[in-house]
Amino acid sequence: MDFNLSTGMKAKVEINVELKDTAVSFGSGGVKVLATPMMIGIMENAALKAVDFNLPEGYATVGTHLEVKHLAATPIGMKAYAEAELIKIEGKKLLFNVTAYDEKEKIGEGTHARYIISVDKFIEKTNEKLHK
């Protein structure tokens, strides 16, 4: 199946850092700065947005691998954003470069892999876990 994707596809996701986005709220640290899980979440969301709109009805992508460095802290009240660029396509496997920034500097970088799935088949297989 042709998924109408090509390397170079990009997307950007921006947030205003709030208390709910901090390490304290996530339980991933004791400081009120942008949590690493939240930074990763916006990186994944950027990757998803770079490609999912191009997929046929009934298909989506799921995250399968992350290799990310969190380079700098971002305080509450500052904007943060993530960018993703599709750099490799191997059948249904997709690889992205992901970066994150706040209003002052780069705060994160790495790679993120996603996999194209049939939503119905994926949910059916996942729900089988409930019946075993």
60-108 tens-digit pLDDT: 999 999 999 999 999 999 999 999 999 999 999 999 999 999 999 999 9
Check pLDDT > 90 for residue 118. yes
What mean pLDDT do residues 48-52 have? Answer: 97
Residues 84, 17 contacting (CB under 8 angstroms):
no
Check pLDDT > 80 for residue 19. yes
Q: Is 108 annotated as belonging to a binding site?
A: no
Q: Is 63 annotated as belonging to a binding site?
A: yes
Mean pLDDT, the chain, whole residue set: 96
Which amino acid would we find at residue 110?
Answer: G
Check pLDDT > 90 for residue 10. yes
Q: In this predicted structure, what is the pLDDT of residue 99?
A: 98
What mean pLDDT do residues 125-132 have? Answer: 91
Q: Domains of the chain, with CATH numbers? A: 10-131 (3.10.129.10)
Q: Which of the four pLDDT bands, split at 50, 70 and 90, describes residue 130?
A: very high
Sheet holding 93-102, edge to edge: 10-16, 79-90, 93-102, 106-118, 59-70
User: Which positions are catalytic?
Assistant: 36, 44, 70
Q: In this predicted structure, what is the pLDDT of residue 3?
A: 86
Measured between alpha carbons, how far is 22 from 114 in angstroms, rounded to an integer? 25
Check pLDDT > 80 for residue 2. no
